Structures are given as C-alpha cells and as structure tokens.
Structure 1
Amino acid sequence: MINKVGMSKQLIIALSIVNFSVTAGSVFFGYFIYTYAIETGWISLKTLNEDWSVFHSVDWVWLFFVLLFGSVLSIILGVKLANRFIIPINFLADAAKKISQGDLSARVEDAEGHSAEILELMHNFNSMAQQLETSVKNAQVWNAAIAHELRTPITILQGRLQGILDGVFQPDPVLFKSLLNQAEGLSHLVEDLRTLSLIENQQLRLNFEWIDLEYHVERVLLIFKERLHQTGFNIQVELSVTQVYCDSRRIEQVLIALIDNAIRYVNAGVLKISSNMIEQSWVLQVEDEGPGIPIEYQRDLFNPFFRLEQSRNKELGGTGLGLAVVHAIVVAHKGLIKYSNFQNNSVFVIILPLKVN
C-alpha cells in the first residue's frame, strides 16, 4: 500500500519510536542487569544505597547497553528513512539525466511507498516530462507541416521569377497577379502562425469593446464581394443581436476565415450569417448548403493543418490553419465553437459570453 503520510510526520513518528524504545530499553536493561548483579553477588542493595552518587561498574554496563541499543535502533530507522527519501530522489535524478540526453520517454516508475511530498514530486515530474515530450513531438509535426506549406509558394515564386530573368515567361499582369497571390498566401500563413503562437503562449491581447456587429459583417462581405459574385454565392444576413462585446479585429478575422473556407470548399448557394441571444451569451452562426464534413473528420476539424483528403489537391486549397485560428480566437474570448452537419448543411456556431469579466 502506498504510504501517503507526509515527510514531516514520518520524521516525528520515527523520532517518537526512538524515544519510546530507548526509554523502554533503559527500564528493561536496568531491571535485568541490576537483578542479575544482585543475584550473583556482583553488587548488593546496601552498596547501591551507600554509593548512589558514584558510578559502579554495573552502572557502566547498564549505560553501555542502553547506548548500544539506542544507537543500533537509530541507525536502523535512519537507514530506512534515508532509503525512503533518497531512493526516489535518485530515480528522479536518473530520469532527469535521461531526458537531458534526449530520451524524452523517461519516467519515474517506483511502486514502493513514499511520503506524500515525494509522491507529488514524482507525479509532477512525470507530468512535466509528458508535456515536454508532447511539446517536442508537436513542434516536430509543426516544423514539418510549415516546411511543407512554405515549399510550394516559395518554389512557384522562385521558378516564375527565374523564368522572367531567363526570358521564359513574359512579365505581364496575369503573371504578376499569380505571383502576388502566392505572396499574399505566404503573408496569410505567417499571420495565422503568429496568431496561433500568441494564443498558445497566452500572449494574445484582446481589445474588448462594444461593437456594431452589422457594420463589421458588411466590412468583411465587402472584402469578398467579387469572389462571392464569381462563385455564385447568395449572402443572407439575419442579425437579431448587433451590439457585441468583443475584439472587433479578431471577430472580423473569424468571419473572414469562415467565409473564405466556404468559398473554397462549399457548394454555391445561400450562405447565411445570423446572430441571436441565448441567456447570457450571444450566438453567431454561419450556415451553408453543403456538402458538409463527414463525421469521421469532424473531431480533427479545428486542428492545425487539418484538411480533408479530397480537398488537398484543389486549386484553391488553403493551408489548413483557418479553422484552427478561428477556434483559438473563440477560446481566447472565453467562448465555444461547434460544428454540425444537419441535412448536409454545414453550420458553424460560435457562442461567446455577453460580457467577459
């Protein structure tokens, strides 16, 4: 059974055991030795009564056995306590050394009973090691994903610019627009990565204020006016709640990501943006006409760099960071974002508190 007694209590108990044992041992050895000495004639009661102020040889024998017993008992308990405290510390030191040498899977695994403080220390160490291992693995995945996302636009830019220098491509407006699109894609990727990094490190500063949601929705729709017209989308806006307490710039960023996502992957048709109030929260909904996201992909929908397999080769495919940024911004607002696929109509529901404390 795991010992959950605190270290200080264990020391108090150990010292109390030593004190009680030495006291009891003194009485036992005194009774045994003096009884033996009187029975054998080594000393008499008269001598003890007359010479009580002077140490007799029997007294020295008694004192020797008491000291020997106390020393042996103290050493035994001391070694036991030392092992209980030092062994897990050695395990911690070994695990820390392995981690410093690159073995991030090292953990402190010891089933023996320890004090509550040491058990908590071991648990916290293992938790820290697990978070470190997860963080490093995530960093490796992110580095690979970022390198993959950067490779294509950089290769296109480099190839086209080299082609212009070599005279292979004519520097016309169409080519420059293509190059500009690649540069804008890189800029969006960097901004998305920056936003995610700020939120992950709890460095994102939100400027909360009361805003007119209708005004900001119109601003975002104006940005997409030409693309929405070209792709055949019909925008339907129904805002029952227009005064919202939030960061206007970040809410616009959320709308831009959701509308951009719809233009890239959704069937042309009605794109509905609505808002309403539920108790002490306001709800923003963005609904399209499908085809929706299969249920097996919905769990990973808001993970960075996640994209549906069938959309990866689309000409307008994104980086897979848009919805991750949306999720992170909503969480930073202390809100919640949900996705549903009712009758193949994708519905993104954002729920934010009426006012953040």
Structure 2
Amino acid sequence: MKLVGLSRQIVLSMAAIALGVTMLVVLTSYAFYYVAFTYWPEHFDPAAWMPNGAEWVWLIATTLAGLVIAIAVAVNLARRILVPLNSVADGIRRVAEGDLGARAIAGDRSLGEASLLADNFNALAAELQRVTEEQRFWNAAIAHELRTPVTILRGRLQGLAEGIFPADEAQFRSLLTQVEGLARLIEDLRVVSLAESRHLELQIQVADLAAEITAVVDVFKSSLQSAGQQPVLDLDERPVRCDAVRIRQALLVLLENARQHAAPGSLHIRTRLDRGWCHLIVEDEGPGIPAGFTPHLFKAFRRADSTRSSGRKGSGLGLAVVSAIARAHGGHVGYAPASKGGAQFTLSWPYQPIAER
C-alpha cells in the first residue's frame, strides 16, 4: 500500500504515538529513580543509575518492536478506512462524469462513520438516478401528450387557412375542444409538478362539501348519463376544512375517469367523516382495474387498457392529480375493488371538527 495522504498521516501518527509512549516510560523511569536515589538511597544501588549494555539493547529492541507494531496496525487501519473513502471519491467522480449507476463499497462495517458515508452516498446516487430516469420519462411523455392536440390544431388551422375546411361553427367548436383539452393537460401537469416539488398551495377554509359535490355532479350529470351512468349521492352534511376548488378538481377527475372507463350503471358518490378523517368515495359497477396495474395506478402517464369500446384514451395524469391533491391536504387516495366488481376510489384527508356558532 502506497503511503500517501491520509494513510501516510495515520502511519506517522501511530509511529509517533509508539515512540512517544516509549520515551515517556524511559523518562518517567529516570525521574522515579532520581527521587528514589535522593530520598531512599539505602534501598537502591547508585551504581545502577545508568543502563548497562543489555538494558540498552532491551530498550532499543522494545522501541523498534513497538514502532513496527504501530506501523502495521496503522497500515491496516488506514486501508480499512480508505476503502470506503476512496470508493466514495471514485463514485462521486463517476457520477460527475454521467455514470449514475456508480455505487460505493462500504467495506468494513465496524468503521461506522466511513460505512455510513458510503451508504449515504449510495442512497443519494440511487435517488439521483431515479429522479433523472423519471425526468427523462416525463419529458418523453409530455412531448407525446402535447404532440397530438398541437398536431390536430395545426392541421385544422392550416386547412381553414387554405380553404380545405369550411369556416363554420362546427370547425371552431372542434378547435375549441382541442384547446380546452390542451389547457386541462397543462393544468394537470402544473398540479402534479407543484405537488412533487411540495409547492402546491392550498386555500384551506370551512366548506360545505356536500353542496360543492352536488354542484359538480349536477354540471357533469348529462355527460355521465350519456355514458349510461346514473350518479347516486350519499353525502354527509357537516362542513369540513379543505380547499374546495382542489376537491372539486379531484372529483371531476374521478367522474371523468368513470365516464370513460366504467360500465353503464350506478355511480355512487359518498362522503364520510370517520375517526378524524374525511373521505370522498366514488364507486362504479365495473369493470374495475387489472390487478397487475394497481401499483402504478396513481403514477403520472401510466394507463391501463380500457375495456370500453369508445377508443378514448386519457393523458394518464388524472389519478396522479387526485393523488397530488390528497397529499397536499395531508391525506392520501386509495383504490379497492367494489362489491359489484367495479372500482372504488377513496380520497381521504384529516378532519377537524368545526365548532358551531
């Protein structure tokens, strides 16, 4: 092992300690015998004040042996310490060069701090790799999602400019539909990105949740009925603290999700205040979520194959938006198979009783 840097300092320090301990023993021995010969000369032989040849050999031999042992221990200790430190330094260099798969070797676990440094670096590198991969996935997904409406808009506008399409109300309504879809996609992206960076701000205040939900369902009822679904409300009338605008946004996502993917039948919308939690539940009658897809259900840009024949596909952001709104409220969103084979989504957040005036 080449003795440079930290290893050289460790070896020199251990050798200095061994030599210092030896010199301390020798000097304190002289001090002891000086006092002994001065005050108790009858108990000691003054002629033995200086070491003889054999004693000098013994002192030198023990000093050299102590130095050799100290150096050997220091070299071994330096190697054990430097394995994780050098591995972390090499890992940092490789990560800086773009190799996000680089990991450090923890080495001897008995050296707690050095091993902990390597473990923390590995955790940091793994998180950086995950974030970078997600960023690449997001960039590709966003480009894919924006490409379709932008391409349609460009084609329609170009056709209108060249006189291929008639400039009638139907064409402008079609363009408006694409623009509204693009605006919803941008808003969904904004909500999810703000939630991921923990900057999604809420306006928490006392709200009549039952009235808010009823208003949303009334507006959306015709769309649901056109898909063969009949909303059934079962609402707790007590006021709650929440951001009513965001809760309405989450409910709209769940209703749109049911309209696109659920089979015709009843669509139950319930609220419950139970054990310190407020629950908003949306339950349809089928066909439910494929079992293999449930771990990815609330991740952005993840889609399950729809069993409906409408051929419509969402952006894959809807449920991620619901999850982001739930987390911003300090709660969570969950999925469970419904009793009739459908999907049951539950948005939950902490409930604080509101004193009546």
TM range (shorter): 0.7 to 0.9
Larger displacement relative to structure 2 (174-183 or 264-273): 264-273
- Aligned residues: percent identity? 38
Shift of 1:321: 0.6
Q: Judge conservation of contact 2:262–2:308 (CA < 8 Å) in 1.
A: no
- After superposition, what is the alpha-carbon deviation per residue over 1:221-256, rounded to whole angstroms, capped at 9, x for unaligned? 243244234334322211124311211111111111
Which residue number corresponds to residue 39 of structure 1? Answer: none
Shift of 1:182: 1.2
Shift of 1:328: 2.0
Using the alignment, how far apart are the partners of 2:300 and 2:342 within structure 1?
23
- After superposition, what is the alpha-carbon deviation per residue over 1:57-115, rounded to whole angstroms, capped at 9, x for unaligned? 77765654454344333333332322222232111111111111121111112543451
Could you tell me which runs of 5 or more consecutive residues in structure 2 were left unpaired when the two chains were aligned: 1-9, 31-44
Using the alignment, how far apart are the partners of 2:164 and 2:333 within structure 1?
49
TM-score, normalised via structure 2 length: 0.80
Asked if 1:248 corresponds to 2:228, the answer is no
Asked if 1:194 corresponds to 2:190, the answer is yes
Q: Judge conservation of contact 1:271–1:286 (CA < 8 Å) in 2.
A: yes
SS in 1 for 2:202: coil
SS in 1 for 2:124: helix
Using the alignment, how far apart are the partners of 1:25 and 1:177 within structure 2?
99
Change (3 A) 1:63 1:135: same
Which residue number corresponds to residue 39 of structure 2? Answer: none
Which residue of the other structure, out of 281, 288, 310, is the alignment partner of 1:285?
281
Using the alignment, how far apart are the partners of 2:54 and 2:268 within structure 1?
103
Alignment of 1:1-357 (within 5 A): 18=18, 22=22, 47-49=47-49, 64-65=60-61, 67-310=63-306, 314-341=310-337, 342-355=339-352
SS in 1 for 2:306: helix
Q: Judge conservation of contact 1:153–1:182 (CA < 8 Å) in 2.
A: yes
Change (3 A) 1:46 1:316: closer
Change (3 A) 1:23 1:318: same
Shift of 1:141: 1.4
What do you get for the CA RMSD once the two structures are aligned? 3.4
Using the alignment, how far apart are the partners of 2:277 and 2:189 within structure 1?
29
Using the alignment, how far apart are the partners of 2:307 and 2:138 within structure 1?
20
SS in 2 for 1:171: coil
For this pair of structures, how many residues does the alignment match?
Answer: 326
Q: Judge conservation of contact 1:241–1:282 (CA < 8 Å) in 2.
A: no
TM-score, normalised via structure 1 length: 0.80
Change (3 A) 1:119 1:132: same
Change (3 A) 1:178 1:193: same
Using the alignment, how far apart are the partners of 1:58 and 1:234 within structure 2?
107
Using the alignment, how far apart are the partners of 1:117 and 1:351 within structure 2?
41
Change (3 A) 1:156 1:65: same
Larger displacement relative to structure 2 (251-260 or 84-93): 84-93
Using the alignment, how far apart are the partners of 2:234 and 2:263 within structure 1?
21
Could you tell me which runs of 5 or more consecutive residues in structure 1 were left unpaired when the two chains were aligned: 1-9, 31-44
- Give the letter aligned to residue 228 of structure 1: L
Shift of 1:287: 1.7
